[in-house]
Structure 1
Amino acid sequence: MATPQHNSDVLVVSRNEHSDSKEHVYLEETFYILSKKNSVFRVRLTSKGLSLMKETDGNSKEQTILLRDIIGSKCMRSKRRHPGATSCVCSSLVGHQQLKVVDENSGDLDENDISAYLYIYAYILKHSRRNLKRERTTITLRFRSFDKYEDNNKEAQKWRTTLKCLIAGQPITNVPPPNDKKLLILLNPKSGPGRARELFQTKVAPLLQEAEVPYELHVTKHAQYAREFVRTRNVYAWKGIVAVGGDGVLFEVLNGMFERLDWQQALMEVPLGILPCGSGNGLAKTICHLYNEPYIGENLTGLTMALARGKVAPMDVVRIETKTKIMFSFLSVGWGLLSDIDIESERLRAIGGHRFTVWAAARLVGLRRYKGVLSYAKIKDVSNLPRPKLPLTLSHSISQDGALDSPDAEAFIDCDEHADVFTSTVNGKHQRVDSWYSVNSRRSAFYSTRGSEYHSVTSGGSEMRSPVHACMHGPAPHLPSLMSHLPSHWVHEQGEFIMVHIAYQQFIGEDFLFAPRSQLSDGVIWMLVIKAGVSRSQLLSFLLGAGQGTHAEMNNEYIKMIPVSAFRIVPEGTEGYLTVDGECVEYGPIQGEIFPNLVNISVPDTKI
């Protein structure tokens, strides 16, 4: 069978009506391959995907491209051939002339070609010897059964509309499903080694364009920009909020949502997403691992496809309290060795995730001990916890009028109302406002699908304005105040610790499988305790085994993993680091408790 990525030109000649008992057949056509004699493709669009059966001289081969691997489609017309373009006498030696197509509204159409071309874009999951990866594939179907382009285009549009309905999981109609809301994308250009903008341009924007997903992109200008942005804007205007960068960008977004008076409705109606361009990327790796999606560094294909599909799953968050602040966490809390490595390796940010390995070696040489009291509410039997909810698809927000459903809507001020907006496409034509690849460019524009916008880093008159009082809201705590006595059933451990690290995701970094049994929504906090007295060889074994999660089964005098529902750490002294989702917080007493299913997070489509 000819590989689909070769964009084989095919011609419609007939339609067959037989069906498959195992799957519903929506459309079916037979195509000839122009470049090969006695070869035809029988193409079916079914509830499972796109079935391609090649028949040549009585032999047949079949391939099915799963619906979950198809991201979008587009109808095109052939491009006008300019005089002299094929006059070279050696052109026939190159092979069959490559098909060139343009948008149907283009002024460079070949009026002599009445064919309509349907391009179908897919990213097929491929098994290699070492891992899984997605391979981009383009299938080109040429419709030319009728004498007029309008009739052929009508057939191609019928296939396109049906495919769009199937991808969206909506009933088949003659009208494509609406896509009126944009994604809000908040990108931190300084995340990790500082390549977030480049990765978005090269890895994310083309996929969103193929999927016809409009978006509005804002590049963060300073610390807490993303937090203030989501707190002060009408988030119901977007169908989702995507953090591009490290875990820190999502931490800002999450806490900005909890600072809204309408936090509960906002989190219910507006899902969050993450595209990893940072150093840690723990949540992104966890999502890919749980949903069998390949995770390859700086390859954002799978998670971008998840954004296009619109599938979300509930996720637990942990309410964190220090002496002066309340915050919400989705990843981890750290005290001791791992937090030291995380914070002190910031000076090596330019080398990306390798900074953790380098600094871990330094910290093993100069091992520190921390005195304090650790208290926790232990979960005795994690096997009896409720199963996590299945992924779901959010419908359109019920807040369609564009107004905040908040008793104090006037307190929410539109930050950035004077920002420059660059519309990246007009009538399907890309219009680059400025060169993306110019390092010294004052403004850089991303290309995108119709209606998408880019807000420049250097937008004038766009200083962030916030409500006078930013107050943390969220669910009421079940724990006593930080300085009060804890319930009698809690366990207390006092002494010297090398580290206490607490997480609620499987991975706390790309290569650190911290809690293999964790789920996105299971109500469990996993607490790793390493006490003073552990040998350096044991610590080295622990760090070397972090990629496989072998430490999770340890339970000895010095190292143990404990499932808990709440915790409190009271360190002695003033020297040390406490981190929440990789961000440094004030050193002192800290406590946290888990709240299940408070956030909806974008996940890959696992439907077969």
Structure 2
Amino acid sequence: MDQCRAKLESTSLVKLYGEFTGTSNRKGRCAVILTEKDLVVQRLTSAPVGRNKVVLSLKDCVGCRAYRGNDSADKAAYLVAYFYPLKRRWMSSKVSRQRVEQGFRLASLQDPQANLEEAEKWARAVRERSARQQFPRNGVLMSQMSRPCQMMLLVNPQSGKGQALTLYNNHIQRMLNEAGIKHTLVITERQNHAREMVKEADLSQWDALVIMSGDGLLYEVINGLLERPDWEEAIRTPLGILPGGSGNALAASIHHYSGASPVTSEELLVSCGFLLCKGLVSHMDMVSIHLCSSPRLFSFLSLAWGFVADVDIESEKYRHFGAVRFTIGTLVRLASLRVYKGRLAYLPATKDHNSEEALRSNTMLCKDRVPPVTLPAVRDSSFHNSCHSNNSLKVRRVESTPSRSATKALPGPHDSLLPPLDQPLPDDWVVVPEEDFVLMLAMYQSHLAEDLLAAPEATPDDGVIHLFYVRAGISPTALLRLFLAMEKGAHLTTNCQHLVYTKVRALRLEPYSPKGIITVDGEVVEYGPVQAEVHRGLSRLITG
């Protein structure tokens, strides 16, 4: 046993060493070593070191606490640490986060208070070293939320299959308690309840706003924050997302940004819960959306017209199936594929557009990794305007700086790239020559749904809109193949002649078809001319 102890103590970077018993087996003793990166547990037996040895990475630790037992006669103190390491499931190739609880009993001292102080010393050391396990991800340095922190957790009990509260009780409540995060549960009662609440709330009492729902509830929260008089401060409130709906696109994106293998359903919830508990915050882009007669909106996920928007909304009738609703909706719409007429224009994102914006002091922004996949496009002065009439008029070239008059009086940031919808576009915009489309999709996160990696190059604050459109003429079979490839983010390598992808800073769409659906973050908005501009790093997102 002494030889075993000596080998353990020789481990490099040892910060703490102790010998304890287990919480359930008080006869078996174990040596515990805390290094800068790991918690190492070794049973003290005559077996060689390496057997019965557990190494737990502090990167996977969400919390650690010390406490006294319920028995007043018990002089011991207890130490318990909570880990969520990535593990391969039994009889499966899938890797997901699984809960590991490691507990110890400390009774080496006669004084109960002294035992508790020793346990608290260990708990502090574990928490401190776990918090240090921060590394740049995709070139982005993240800040960490202060501890202790207080979160408002908004839950929509009707989202998805209607199981959000059950999932909270089964997973999230315990995880937040393990991480020592205080939170107030707020159950939304109606549409726009969350929007109204955050618009009027005293945000100084909250360190973060966390949404447990689909993407629609976060859409409400973001627009409520940006409608406040103090929107500049309000939008800096860190936002968290826990999947409780059908699509869960942002939750899937956050999991993807962590570098972990794809997961869905409750495994995705556990992953996002773990990342929330780690509390690392990065910047997130916002996109301002202008409609013809509605107030300006703000979007964090997507703008869609055509096939994608139709499937999203028409599949609402299958909501009780959960995420499968989108598969059903896709097959139904493929059976009678529609063509949508309209006009699309965009302002390309150049390689040096980053230098035109002030970089945040704690953020290193990503460089483009792959050149955009584009088909030839021509500049055309015949972009139509139908805000006042469906009759098409040719627009004239303009050389002046785009007007801000449309947004000057509104809360939120100014749009420096967009002229009013009833004004012509500047010369540096590209007008797409085609007018017949199957879909137009503008993305600013990686995922369109849990299992659709629509924009594999996207990061939360890359400062661009990832624009996709599919031209008319594609067969239902080819479109289905495209969406099947999108499950793994491989649709851009299919060499589909009808698919166009490019990175843009702003866009304008004018539908010609008299009927159709346009969605923003999965929510139906006014059908008609629409334009959008990205605002880099405007908000804060808890990405873990």
TM bracket (short chain): 0.7 to 0.9
User: For residue 68 of structure 1, what is the aligned residue in structure 2?
Assistant: 59
Report the CA distance between 1:305 and its aligned residue.
Answer: 2.3
* Aligned AA (1:544): L
RMSD: 3.3
Q: 3-state DSSP class of the match of 1:151?
A: helix
* Aligned AA (2:270): T
Residue by residue over 1:117-146, the C-alpha shift from the partner in whole angstroms, topping out at 9 and shown as x without a partner, is: 212222222134522112222212111111
Does residue 1:474 correspond to 2:404, yes or no?
no
Report the CA distance between 1:499 and its aligned residue.
Answer: 0.9
Change in Cα spacing, 1:180 to 1:37, as seen in structure 2 (3 Å) is closer
* Aligned AA (1:329): S
Does residue 1:291 correspond to 2:254, yes or no?
no
Does residue 1:302 correspond to 2:302, yes or no?
no
Change in Cα spacing, 1:20 to 1:312, as seen in structure 2 (3 Å) is farther
Residue by residue over 1:47-94, the C-alpha shift from the partner in whole angstroms, topping out at 9 and shown as x without a partner, is: 21312233421511243211121222333444xxxxxxxxxxxxxxxx
Residue by residue over 1:449-499, the C-alpha shift from the partner in whole angstroms, topping out at 9 and shown as x without a partner, is: xxxxxxxxxxxxxxxxxxxxx954234432111121111121112411111
Distance 2:23 2:151 in 1: 41
User: For residue 28 of structure 1, what is the aligned residue in structure 2?
Assistant: 17
Query: TM-score normalized by structure 2?
Result: 0.81
- Superposition pairs of residues 558-569 of structure 1, within 5 angstroms: 558-569=498-509
Report the CA distance between 1:600 and its aligned residue.
Answer: 1.0
User: For residue 541 of structure 1, what is the aligned residue in structure 2?
Assistant: 481
Change in Cα spacing, 1:476 to 1:559, as seen in structure 2 (3 Å) is closer
Is the Cα contact below 8 Å between 1:332 and 1:504 reproduced in 2? yes
Is the Cα contact below 8 Å between 1:387 and 1:522 reproduced in 2? no
Could you list the runs of 5+ residues in structure 2 that have no partner in the other structure?
134-144, 364-408
What is the aligned counterpart of 1:237 among 205, 224, 228? Answer: 205
User: For residue 354 of structure 1, what is the aligned residue in structure 2?
Assistant: 324
Q: 3-state DSSP class of the match of 2:316?
A: helix
Does residue 1:159 correspond to 2:155, yes or no?
no
* Aligned AA (1:482): L
Change in Cα spacing, 1:35 to 1:339, as seen in structure 2 (3 Å) is closer
Change in Cα spacing, 1:290 to 1:21, as seen in structure 2 (3 Å) is farther
- Superposition pairs of residues 314-325 of structure 1, within 5 angstroms: 314-323=283-292, 324-325=294-295
Query: TM-score normalized by structure 1?
Result: 0.73
Residue by residue over 1:386-443, the C-alpha shift from the partner in whole angstroms, topping out at 9 and shown as x without a partner, is: 99999979xxxxxxxxxxxxxxxxxxxxxxxxxxxxxxxxxxxxxxxxxxxxxxxxxx
Distance 1:122 1:33 in 2: 17
User: For residue 589 of structure 1, what is the aligned residue in structure 2?
Assistant: 529
Distance 2:427 2:442 in 1: 22
What is the aligned counterpart of 2:180 among 206, 212, 235? Answer: 212
What is the aligned counterpart of 1:139 among 84, 102, 114? Answer: 102
* Aligned AA (2:40): S
Does residue 1:368 correspond to 2:338, yes or no?
yes
Distance 1:229 1:38 in 2: 54
User: Identity over the aligned pairs, expressed in percent?
Assistant: 35
Change in Cα spacing, 1:383 to 1:598, as seen in structure 2 (3 Å) is closer
User: For residue 120 of structure 1, what is the aligned residue in structure 2?
Assistant: 81
Report the CA distance between 1:598 and its aligned residue.
Answer: 0.9
Residue by residue over 1:273-301, the C-alpha shift from the partner in whole angstroms, topping out at 9 and shown as x without a partner, is: 10011111111111101112453312322
Residue by residue over 1:283-330, the C-alpha shift from the partner in whole angstroms, topping out at 9 and shown as x without a partner, is: 111110111245331232222222222211111111111112211111
* Aligned AA (2:35): T
The more displaced of 159-168 and 326-335 is 159-168
Distance 1:233 1:532 in 2: 47
- Superposition pairs of residues 418-567 of structure 1, within 5 angstroms: 472-493=411-432, 494-553=434-493, 557-567=497-507
Is the Cα contact below 8 Å between 1:322 and 1:589 reproduced in 2? yes
Is the Cα contact below 8 Å between 2:208 and 2:239 reproduced in 1? yes
Is the Cα contact below 8 Å between 2:37 and 2:130 reproduced in 1? no
Does residue 1:56 correspond to 2:45, yes or no?
yes
Change in Cα spacing, 1:391 to 1:37, as seen in structure 2 (3 Å) is farther
* Aligned AA (2:271): G
The more displaced of 62-71 and 291-300 is 291-300
Q: 3-state DSSP class of the match of 1:344?
A: helix
Distance 2:450 2:355 in 1: 27
Could you list the runs of 5+ residues in structure 1 that have no partner in the other structure?
1-12, 79-108, 171-176, 394-469
Q: 3-state DSSP class of the match of 1:56?
A: coil
User: For residue 258 of structure 1, what is the aligned residue in structure 2?
Assistant: 226
* Aligned AA (1:164): R
**Equivalences, count:** 480
